[in-house]
Structure 1
Amino acid sequence: MKLEQKRNFEALFGDTFGFVGETARHFFPTMLRVNFLYLLGMVATAYIAFSSGYADVDFLFKEHGTIGWMGWSDLGMGINWHPGFAWWETALMVLCGLLLLVGAAVFAAYTPAYMILYRDEGRVPEFSQIVAFLWARAGRLVIYFLAMLLLLIPVVVVCIPVMILLVLSVVGIAVIPFILLAILMLSMLVLYAYLDQERPDFFGAIDLAWKALRSPFWQNILSNGLLYIVTAFLGILPGMFTSLVGDGALSAGGVYLGIAAVLAALVLHFAISALYSVNVGMIYFSSKAKNEENFYSM
């Protein structure tokens, strides 16, 4: 599939599923390999969280027993009753936190990296190529997330009063999802543009992302919004996995059931998020094709 080409509404939506279907056998297994540290951090965190829900209560009631998993509220109770964490448990939690931060950045950048390399190579990229691409742009990833965190502050300051005013009218309530969707899509387009290295600076990437978003605006918003609804519906499935650790898991064996449920939900979340990111990529590459066509027609 040629990525850099002009697309209408139907093509943006159809090519998203077309690209995923065409590359699925390579795309998803490679995604799990690239995000191995993220998965490892999540599994370790899940183990610590769920195992704390089965803390030994001998020190409270002078009898040996475990706290069964009765819901997320019991997780906090288990942690509060825990007699204390050993130094290695504290170190493990800090390490897990770092793994999750790095893993989240790598996960967010995986689909843009994959699609950029696919465009450049004309075929599915190798695992080593993706790792080398992400390593070469590690500095840009750090700058991107720090800059987006700083930009989030004024965006929140402006959006909160605007949202309050919009809630006062029926039309305003209908506009709110489009505003939130535009902000989310713009942040993803900035990541695509910044990793693509067409411009040397972060604000240049914002300029490219803004041009991609508004050309044409409603086509991109509606296409991305429809895809978001699909992914939101599919997002119910991870919740079904995590509900497995409900009232029936009353033994310490529920720890492993909880970990398995979290892992399954995470893998499903990977696939759903990747589908959304691919759609943003289609919008980005479609915009690039239009810009190049306009440049050569001048």
Structure 2
Amino acid sequence: MFQLYKKRDFSALVGDTFGFFKLEGKNYFKNYFTINGGLLLLLVLIIYFFSNIFIKGAFAGAQTGNDNAFIEEIYSNLSLFIGFGIGMIFLMTIISVINYSFPIAYLKLIEENKERNFQNLITYFKSKLGRIISFYLLSLVILIPLLVIVIGLTILSVFILIGIPLIFLLIPTLTSFVALTYYNYITEKIGYFDALGRAYEMLKSKFWPIIGSTFVIHMIVQITLGIFAIIPYIIGIITLFTNPESLQQNPENAISFVMILLTAIIIISIICNYTLQNIILINQGVIFYSCKEESGNISVKNNIDLIGTDEA
């Protein structure tokens, strides 16, 4: 079984993230897609219909040379456009909440030495539903405005060159700060501001190993996303070069082909993005339990408790 409580340096934070998936990956993703798979498929369908309306409007304007053709196409399908848009935002919100909460639930079951199955995961979700909802509501009025200010100041500082290296630090720092706050708030019986404080202390205690490992995991995920996204693009380019005459002779087929290609890229990118986010969030979980071990020597205490149990 994967060891949660362990003192880790930079290389261990990265290595144990992938070590977790080597040990638990099959069961982890089986449960992940059991819980989130149906919602992801529904999101794919909505994105397909939503993007279909949008892309048709764009090509209508390009074909006719009429700048108003795009607006007219959207307006003629306005109710569907708005409906699919609202549905897409709603589903993305629900899926994102599950995405952030699932790794926490899974690692907590490991900590409690419980079987990582669908029933236990759902039971944990239900027990934490109130805290999950309150975290997101509180973050809307407290954390998100603060992050917007920090990001805004960093972007402004780019113009005086100081902000360029800061951007490379900002993304992993904010990722870790938000994730560690969420881990603390959901797993510990503490208030929102206490969770923010603990996340700050954890981040400060091992800043460079945490930021370094988070940055490396981010880069691996982004490169992998890029590879998956570019596959349909490469297929499209090959098709254009191998069969250009038929597409030129029949513009409607060309437009349909491009629409399918763009939609496929969007759908693949979104599914891969949500799936690969698990690697980043498990990495943050490894950081969270490592920081707890650094401050509390929990593994030592657990071993002492086990010795007492064995003697009994």
2:279 is matched with 275
Give distance in 1, aligned partners of 2:290 and 2:92: 32
- Could you say if the C-alpha distance between residues 193 and 162 of structure 1 is closer, same or farther in structure 2, counting changes exceeding 3 Å? same
Matched, 1:154 2:142: no
Give distance in 2, aligned partners of 1:136 and 1:167: 47
Q: TM-score, normalised by structure 2?
A: 0.76
1:113 is matched with 105
Contact 2:176-2:284 at 8 Å conserved across structures:
yes
1:180 is matched with 171
Give distance in 2, aligned partners of 1:225 and 1:22: 23
Over the aligned positions, Cα root-mean-square deviation in angstroms equals: 3.4
Q: CA deviation at 1:278?
A: 1.1
Give distance in 1, aligned partners of 2:167 and 2:80: 46
Code of the aligned partner of 2:149: V
Code of the aligned partner of 1:95: G
Q: 1:289 aligns with which of 289, 293, 302?
A: 293
* Structure 1 gaps, min length 5: 58-65, 71-75
Matched, 1:205 2:195: yes
Deviation sequence 1:50-100 (CA, Å, 0-9, x none): 331575x9xxxxxxxx95899xxxxx9656414623867754543343222
Give distance in 2, aligned partners of 1:35 and 1:128: 14
Structure whose CA Rg is larger: 2
* Structure 2 gaps, min length 5: 63-67, 241-252, 302-312
Code of the aligned partner of 2:289: F
Code of the aligned partner of 1:113: A
- Could you say if the C-alpha distance between residues 79 and 255 of structure 1 is closer, same or farther in structure 2, counting changes exceeding 3 Å? farther
Q: CA deviation at 1:285?
A: 0.3
Q: CA deviation at 1:250?
A: 2.5
Matches within 5 A, 1:41-80: 41-53=42-54, 80=72
Q: CA deviation at 1:31?
A: 1.4
1:61 is matched with none
Matches within 5 A, 1:6-155: 6-53=7-54, 80-82=72-74, 84-85=76-77, 90-91=82-83, 93-121=85-113, 125-150=116-141, 151-155=143-147
Identity score, percent: 20
Q: CA deviation at 1:18?
A: 0.4
Q: 1:220 aligns with which of 210, 220, 226?
A: 210
Give distance in 2, aligned partners of 1:169 and 1:83: 44
2:245 is matched with none
